[in-house]
Amino acid sequence: MTPALSVVIPARDVAPHLDDLLRGLAANARADVEFIVIDDGSADRTPEILGEARLDGLTVVRNDRPTGVAAARNQGLALSSGRYITYLDADDYVMPGYYTDLLAAIEGLGCDFVRVDHVQVTGTRRIPEPAPMGRRGVVLDPRDGILPVHENSMVDYPAIWAGIYRRELGDLLTMDERLHTAEDRPWVWRLHREATSYAVVSLAGLHYRQRAGSLRQIGDERQLHFFDAFDQVIRDLADDPDRESFLRKAARTYCAIIAFHLKRRDRLSPELRERLYERGRTALQSLPEETLAETLPGMGAERERLFADLLGVT
């Protein structure tokens, strides 16, 4: 029997969280759901715990050396056989019945993909995080989810695990394996530009936990991959019929993320900090002059000062 749903789960050094993960999967186990875990070169007890797990529909594949989360997701996708695909990070967990509800949503709506809300887990706090779309439970044009420029939109909600996708989307489901952060940014832009239909439903059964050692929180060179990710987003817009308006949106998000890292520059080594300044300066100056002139005044005084003082861009 072809599974209805494949759940692709990249995992690396997540031993402390595997009890929650496996408990949530067990509460969602069905004969037509497969769970594919890619142990991406873990050095802790992750392989041992996964090897001892007894869960219907579970397949565990181990990589001897880490390949990165994008490559691990692609690897799991290639091994999967479900009519629909979803993703889950191994340090997160899902509530009972979540995947049944997720399947019912996309099968009922009949669209290419469905995005959902999630719950942010911070210590003992549980904070609902809604997808930035007010229209719920109706089929929409994915390109309409890219704008507006000056407010959060669906391309500002890139988390691949907050959704379910038809297998027929094919290459739109793969990620750029060269990126070790922000790999979901060009992915979500391409999905919304090239898919034909989607919907957002009010379902928040996935609990997302920000790891203390994530690349967003430590001074790792791979943090700067967001430059490569957004450069790709902008290159992909070259022949888009809505390039002008989409470029304004991409530029605003790009500038906001550059400012985010500039504010946290003290976590970087002096060499990497200089690289941040160099790449930030190049990124802003590479934008069309009229786009940059429109974008910067709307970024707020603090961000404008960062760009002027650290990058020499006004």
- Rounded to whole angstroms, how far apart are CA atoms 264 and 248? 25
Q: Which domain holds residue 240?
A: 221-311
Domain edge (last residue) among 209, 230, 258: 209
Q: Is residue 171 part of a domain?
A: yes
Work out whether strand 5-11 and strand 84-87 pair parallel, antiparallel, or are unpaired: parallel
Sign, CA dihedral 61-62-68-69, equals positive
pLDDT at position 213, please?
46
Shared domain check, 301 and 263: yes
255: confidence class by pLDDT, cuts 50, 70, 90:
very high
Q: Is residue 226 part of a domain?
A: yes
Work out whether strand 84-87 and strand 93-94 pair parallel, antiparallel, or are unpaired: unpaired
| Percent composition of the chain: helix, strand, coil (DSSP 3-state, to 5) | 45, 15, 35
pLDDT one-digit tens code per residue, 110-155: 999 999 999 999 989 999 999 999 999 999 999 999 999 999 999 9
Shared domain check, 242 and 193: no
Domain of residue 106, CATH code:
3.90.550.10
pLDDT at position 215, please?
45
pLDDT at position 82, please?
98
Work out whether strand 118-122 and strand 58-63 pair parallel, antiparallel, or are unpaired: unpaired
**E strands along the chain, which residues?**
5-11, 33-40, 58-63, 84-87, 93-94, 113-116, 118-122, 125-129, 163-166, 198-201, 206-209
C-beta of residue 284 within 8 angstroms of C-beta of residue 251:
no
* Angle between the N-to-C axes of helices 270-286 and 225-236, in degrees from 0 to 180, rounded to the nearest 10: 10
pLDDT at position 211, please?
60
Domain edge (last residue) among 152, 178, 209: 209
Shared domain check, 50 and 87: yes
Q: Is residue 202 part of a domain?
A: yes
Instruction: Give bridge partners of residue 59 from the DSSP assignment.
Output: 36
Shared domain check, 244 and 169: no
pLDDT one-digit tens code per residue, 4-37: 999 999 999 999 999 999 999 999 999 999 999 9
Nearest by Cα to 85 from 192, 1, 5, 176:
5
Shared domain check, 256 and 124: no
pLDDT one-digit tens code per residue, 170-217: 999 999 999 999 999 999 999 999 999 999 999 999 999 976 544 444
Domain edge (last residue) among 151, 184, 209: 209
Shared domain check, 289 and 228: yes
Total of domains in the chain? 2
Shared domain check, 254 and 111: no
pLDDT at position 119, please?
98
- Rounded to whole angstroms, how far apart are CA atoms 175 and 73? 8
How long, in residues, is the chain?
A: 314
**Does residue 236 carry a pLDDT above 80?**
yes
C-beta of residue 116 within 8 angstroms of C-beta of residue 159:
no
Give the containing element (helix H, strand E) for 68. none
Q: Is residue 214 part of a domain?
A: no
Q: Is residue 215 part of a domain?
A: no
C-beta of residue 232 within 8 angstroms of C-beta of residue 183:
no
Shared domain check, 248 and 139: no
Work out the mean pLDDT of the chain and round it to a whole number. Answer: 95
pLDDT at position 1, please?
80
| CB neighbour list of residue 116: distance below 8 Å, 6 or more residues apart | 102, 105, 131, 162, 163, 164, 200, 201, 202, 203, 204, 205, 206
What torsion do the CA atoms of 140, 166, 2, 208 make, to the nearest 10 degrees? -100
- Rounded to whole angstroms, how far apart are CA atoms 130 and 151? 14
Nearest by Cα to 272 from 201, 308, 222:
222
C-beta of residue 28 within 8 angstroms of C-beta of residue 103:
no
pLDDT at position 222, please?
82
Shared domain check, 101 and 43: yes
- Rounded to whole angstroms, how far apart are CA atoms 230 and 286? 12
Shared domain check, 41 and 188: yes
Q: Is residue 254 part of a domain?
A: yes
> What would the mean pLDDT of 43-72 be, rounded to a whole number?
97
CB atoms within 10 A of CB 179: 22
Shared domain check, 112 and 196: yes
Instruction: Give bridge partners of residue 60 from the DSSP assignment.
Output: 37
